Structure 1
Amino acid sequence: MTANANARRLAPDGRSRAQEQSEYSAPHARSEVRVGNAVLGYRARKHPRRVEFAHLRVVAIERLIRARHGGPVDTDDGEAYARAAVGHVSEISDKHRRLNDPVEWCRRWCPGVLNEFGELWVLDLVHEHRRRRRGLKADEIAILLGVTEAERIHLGLETFGAIDRRKDQRTRERKVQKAQREKARRIANGATPRERCLRALKPWEGYGWSEGYWRRQMKAGRVPDPRKQG
């Protein structure tokens, strides 16, 4: 899928993925394109990789909230969403010097958290995140938010794991898929599949010969090439 096609994919509430991302690319987060005193538009500034990951993670959490709740969370689940998102929101706000963003994010997406725990609780989450110096790992956030593989695929939660498909499973599957792609590429380039190569078939063993002697006999046409047989 091309970048343009990916941008046109719709979020659960009907917005495009590009519109989702735009909330974190406001003019103060972008550089101006000017001719003289005229501002022709904006282009995204280059963010450190860590902040880019934070953007992806926060947008994904918001997408999950919309899909599950249709809008802001008004249940006890709000605490889990806040724990998952606040640290990443703070990374974005630090980059753009908007110090109150974590509290405002909670006010928008899980207002019950502020009503129950207050703003200091949110700021404690920020300090805890800075002390760890990293966000939750893919499987950790999957467990915290109870994300299934079906949700992960349907909503495009690329930075999440899944409670029903853990990292070791995903790693094994990626290795198998990579091996299959590599095999298909080699065959397309004219290579003999591994299961049809002589080293795999070992036809000399059936004759009780050494490999070298068998190869000489095959070259002389005295024994058939098993790779050319059905």
Structure 2
Amino acid sequence: MFDIFDRIAAEAVERAKAQNQAVALERKIRAPHNRRSNWTGDRQTLHEIGSLIQLRHQGPCDTDDGETYLRAALPWIITKAGGFLSEDHEARVADWCRVSVPRLDRAAIRECIAEARERDGRQRLWWSAQELGDLLRLTTDERERSRITRIRPAGMTPRRFAAYQKGREAVKAKARRIAQGSTPREQSKAQLEPWFALNMSRATYFRRQQAGTLPSQIRDRETVSSAAGTKYLQPATDRSHIAERTVPGPASKPRPSQGVGAVGHTPSGKARAVPPGRAVALPLPEGGVSEHPDMLGGGEWRQIGAPLSDYAGGVLPDNLVRAVRDAQRVRQMTQEAVARQIGVSRPQLANALQGRFGLSRSAAANLLTWLAA
């Protein structure tokens, strides 16, 4: 009875192995062939050490630095050979030395292997990227020319190496932008500042550039191939003539928008600057309006909206501020509406009424006109 169960189990195991082998074979057939499929980080480090030797010595190392190169490469050579327990690890090391450092004798090779074995006993066999760079005295120029990525330059702190990597990424990004047709930053107008050479401000330069009236743009329009002429420029002011300037288009008018009110749709437009002396407001009653300042019966009566013709701009006097507030209250207007009537913004009017800033002459004339309406 037990023999039957053992035979069934053995057959099941054989079937499972056959299925696994079939699946592995199918995956191997489907997988794309890659010659560098066994390329690991250890092989990469060993390859970079060989590239550094090739760069410095134009071939194998023929100086006394061979022992340094062997000490740096030993951990990866031993790993590739199968470890210190492998029987042919010394032969693998000798083969590498024969190709890269042929001047190194067998005694020096065995001494380096013994040192590596002692470090392995202290679990310090492997070099870090910074320790390897310090051992090989790798410079940034050698690192970039050999395209080394797994060894850091000598004497680099983590902060300095991060700044070095950031600078390299910036250089690569700049090269990509130039390849895409962008202007380098050092050739931009913000760095060159061409408006100083033309004796004009930055805003004027860009305004004339948009209008097409810069001297360089005017020279580009000339049809002759000789030296750039100055017939379009006035000799005294260095400005272009009227005929060469861009013709201004018609002034834009406020587009009426439909707003729904109590009596239906009413057209309304955005506020525009009001010319001096053309303020429009609801008129006050004839003779003015008198209002008592104190609801309890105290105080004196005063006239609202009395014209004050001696104000010509600047900080508003107290009596004028009081007259503006009284007229606004009697006419039942908002501060935004009053500011629109006299051609200023609401914050500007609020600052003027608080005494923070003054009004210009045109705004003062509009204010007096609005009070006397």
Q: Taking structure 2 as the reference length, what is the TM-score of the superposition?
A: 0.32
When you count helix as a share of all residues, which structure comes out higher?
Answer: 1
**Larger relative contact order (Cα-Cα within 8 Å, sequence gap ≥ 6):** 1
TM-score between the two structures when normalised by the length of structure 1: 0.50
When Rg is computed on C-alpha atoms for both structures, the one with the higher figure is 2
